[in-house]
Structure formats: structure tokens, C-alpha cells
Structure 1
Amino acid sequence: MKPTGGSVAAFIADVTPAVRQRDAETLTALLQELSDREPELWGTIIGFGSCHYRYPTGNEGDMPVLAFAPRKAASTIYLDSTDRHSDALARLGPHTIGKGCLYIKDLEKVDLEVLRSILKSTLAWTESGGDEGMRLVVLT
């Protein structure tokens, strides 16, 4: 995966429904603040910074340091692991999860301070190089 270019602002302006557009603006500001990196489009993902990952199997590639995608059904926020954040997720508010994805339908219904702490933890994990399950090298 690589940055694909394009205007993040124009991409967000086309996001529907309106609640997802509003949440995309909020998430962009939050992730930019936490990461101290500019947003970039990675296809339909808004990413901040980049890192190279490598699994013990040898599979490797590049991905954003922090990222989210404003999907029609929910905003998808990419985490290091949802298992590592189970206590915080219990306090977050309405959401669903996948293995490494957090799905939020309306940011106004969740505790943004809890979300901030989850994202800070994910950023710290990434910047520290990951773990034995995935090694990471931050590029930008």
C-alpha cells in the first residue's frame, strides 16, 4: 500500500452520509494532532505518516502509521489490535470491532478522550517497532 495522492479535503467533501463526513473532519484533525503528521490519501484511506511492516512469515509492505477510512456504514479506524484495548473499548461507547479495526457510526456518541487514549497507544506501539507478531519501521 502506498499514498495515492489527491486532495484529502476534496475526498472528505465527497464523503456520504453527512455524519460520516463530519466524523472524517474530526478524525483527520485528531489523528493529525496525535501523530504530528499531515494527512495523505492511501486510496480511500486517510493515513498519517508511513511505516514498513514485516510478519514472521516474511510478508511485508507499507502502511500508514495511523489511519482511518470514512465508509458508508461506519468510520473504520485502524488499530494495532483490538485485543490490546479491550478495557478502553468497554468504556468507549457504541462501536463494533474486527481484529484490528474499530468501527464507529457516530463520533458524537463515543467518548473522544477514550478514543484518543486508544489512538495514542496504537501510535506508541507502532513507533516502538511493533512486537514479535509484526515488526515495524517508521519511515515518515
Structure 2
Amino acid sequence: MATNMVSFILIWAGLAEALVPTCDQDSFESFVRGFCLPQFNKSMESSGYQDSCPWPDVKSHYHALKNCVDLYANLTATACRGWKQGSLVDGFFLEVHQTYFFHCGSQMIQDPPLTTAILLIAPGIIVTLFLPLCVHHLVTDTN
């Protein structure tokens, strides 16, 4: 309880930065782009990502990239995950998705069939229309 109170006071006073290690952005970028990304790039060369979404075929390579980046971020650059730095890990994966998975969004998201949409929407409309009638019926019967 006392440590939580001290942490809260330090955060509130703006002194918590002294307790949190700073993010070594250069080290993070050089490791991830020098070690993790080249292996992923090599595996993506044969995937045909320029023509269509490569997702099901490269899932294992993507998980290997994610594990490599997460391992380094957790071991040495934990501070780089914070909200203040804009999360280097998230920024890195955003670049990877923009480079290799730009075809995936338009192919995988589709509207449901009309019958499915009607079956999902109709109950809400029916309840909305009949609920006032049911309430009116209950109120008038009790009087």
C-alpha cells in the first residue's frame, strides 16, 4: 500500500521519470532493423506480397518477427513501449504492415450476405417498435 502511494505521488508530481529508464531509440532501431527485419524481408521476397495478401502463407514468419522484436523490447528497451515515446514497437509494426500487407484489408473484409444482415438487424428493430406497445399494455392493465 505504501509503495503504491509513493508511486502515485511521484507520478502526480512528475518525478517518476527519474525512476524509469530512458528509451534507447537508436539501439532499438539498429537491432530490430539490423537483425529481425532482414530475416523477415528474406522470407517475404518469395511471398508475392506485391500482387495479393500474403497473410496465411507468411504467418509463421510474421510471428518470428514479432517474437524477435518483443524479445529485444522486453530485455533492453522496455521504456520504448511507453506512451511518451509513441511506442517504437507499434511504429515498427505499422511500417511492416504498410509495406507488406497493404492488400490484406480490402480482400479480407466483406459485407455479410443480405440474409445474415437482415437476421442480425431485424430483432433490434422489432424490439424497438414493440417495446412501447408492451409497456403501454402493462400500464393500462394495472389501472
Q: Scaled by the length of structure 2, what TM-score is found?
A: 0.28
- Bigger helix share: 2
TM-score w.r.t. the length of structure 1 is 0.28
Larger Rg: 2
Structure showing the higher strand proportion among its residues = 1
